[in-house]
Homo-oligomer: A and B are copies of this chain.
Amino acid sequence: MRKKLTTAKLLLGLPAETSDLQYASGFRAPDPVVYLQTGRKRYMVVSVLECGRAQRTTCGVHVLCIEELGLPPAKRRSLTEWVAALLKRVDVREVTVHASFPLLIAESLRRRRIKVTPVAGPLFPQRAVKSKAEIACIREVQQSAVIAMRHALRRIQSATVDSSGCLREGNKRLDAETMRHGIDKLLLDRGCVGKDTIVACGRGSADPHERGAGPLRVGEPIVIDIFPKHQEHGYWGDLTRTVVKGQPSKRLAQMYRAVKSAQRAALQTIRPRVQVRSVHKAAQDAFVSRGFHTRAGNGKPEGFIHGTGHGVGLDIHEPPSIAPIPGVLRTGNVVTVEPGLYYPDIGGVRIEDTVLVTTSGWRYLYPCEKHLKL
């Protein structure tokens, strides 16, 4: 399916925001750069502001300061000019680019008779297979997620319940915002940023992307989804638990058991070369066998309404996806396994762990206990 990449790879943008650029160059910067990889040679053009840092902090990359390309000052603000000057210098006339390569620059390059070919898949498919160093980075972040999760669960456990069913800490209500703030602060203490930490309670949790607001209540599902990014190395972790303070309803307890068994079923299929659609199907089948059906009706879909997982690395969502699509898992993939059930009249239940695909199966990046009742 995938086009063979024989031509040079061209990337451009802000390395701090473009994970492919950071992966390829090892450089993080808030200003745009142009990166070219042709065979084993790697070039990066940077602004005068980034020059010193780029030379100091990259390895094996030929760093060119924009001044060295001999561009007149009027042309130094145009990334197209940077690319054209670099390609001329290294005598390259054909480049492969990511599907998301900027249209206007592609058109300008083509007018200069440079062949620009976008590829549909990832530009660096090898990113899905993590090195030991990368696994150590993700594990470090996942550990921080686990520590923050335990802190959150302890707070719910020690909270009292007032007469209106709201959780309290001393004389203050424990609401979603307070909890999220506590989690994010703990993450920051460990060098990580929690960008959109979810603490969603009750019916709000039926929306998997609802960040959550307002009081946490007894007897209702509380979904906590923590996905920190490390401030220095930029790798992510991802962890979700669903808990109830006090007594869950019978239906909610059934949902929880179904999600736990779906996660177990999906995990049991994980090993190198397994089809991602089989992993997803294992979770789906577990739900159906327990009587939890997925319906997509009238803009209020319910049941198991998302994929089973996604790759985690320099992006929070990256290949491989675990969904009803083609593709297999490989040793060294790092993926989430996160089945969930969502019913607008009850709320959501999701359990998510991040695991490494090993030669013999899988292991947790960093394990964390799973209990519904607190």
Contact = CB atoms under 8 A, between A and B. Distances in A.
Interface of A: 16-17, 29-31, 48-53, 55, 65, 67-68, 77, 97, 99-107, 116, 118-120, 181, 184-185, 188-189, 193, 195-196, 207-210, 231, 296, 299-301, 305-306, 317, 325
Nearest to A101: B103
A119 B102 CA distance: 11
A141 to B, nearest CB: 16
Contact of A207 (B52, B101, B104, B106): B52
A188 B107 CA distance: 42
Contact of A52 (B48, B65, B299, B306): B299
Contact of A48 (B185, B210, B301): B301
Contacts of A104: 99-101, 118-120
B118 A65 contact: no
Given A67-B299, A99-B105, A102-B103, 15 more contacts: A16-B196, A17-B17, A29-B209, A30-B209, A49-B305, A53-B210, A67-B296, A68-B299, A97-B103, A99-B103, A100-B103, A102-B102, A103-B118, A104-B119, A188-B188
Contacts of A306: 49
Nearest to A106: B103
Contacts of A181: 188-189
Closest 9 interchain pairs by CB? A99-B104, A100-B102, A104-B118, A101-B103, A103-B118, A103-B106, A48-B301, A65-B299, A51-B299
A202 to B, nearest CB: 14
Contacts of A52: 207, 299-300
Contact of A195 (B97, B103, B193): B193
Nearest to A321: B77
Contacts of A231: 195-196
Q: Which of A30, A103, A210 has the largest count of B CB atoms less than 10 A from its CB?
A: A103
Q: Which of A118, A119, A120, A181 has the largest count of B CB atoms less than 10 A from its CB?
A: A118
B184 A305 contact: no
Given A48-B296, A196-B16, A77 B325 contact: yes
A193 B196 contact: no
A220 to B, nearest CB: 18
A208 B31 CA distance: 11
A301 B189 CA distance: 36
A29 B208 CA distance: 11
A314 to B, nearest CB: 14
A214 to B, nearest CB: 14
Contacts of A207: 49, 52-53
A78 to B, nearest CB: 10
A305 B105 CA distance: 26
Nearest to A53: B207
Nearest to A104: B99
A362 B101 CA distance: 38
Contact of A196 (B30, B49, B196): B30
Contacts of A101: 102-104
A53 B31 CA distance: 34
Nearest to A100: B102
Contacts of A185: 185, 188-189
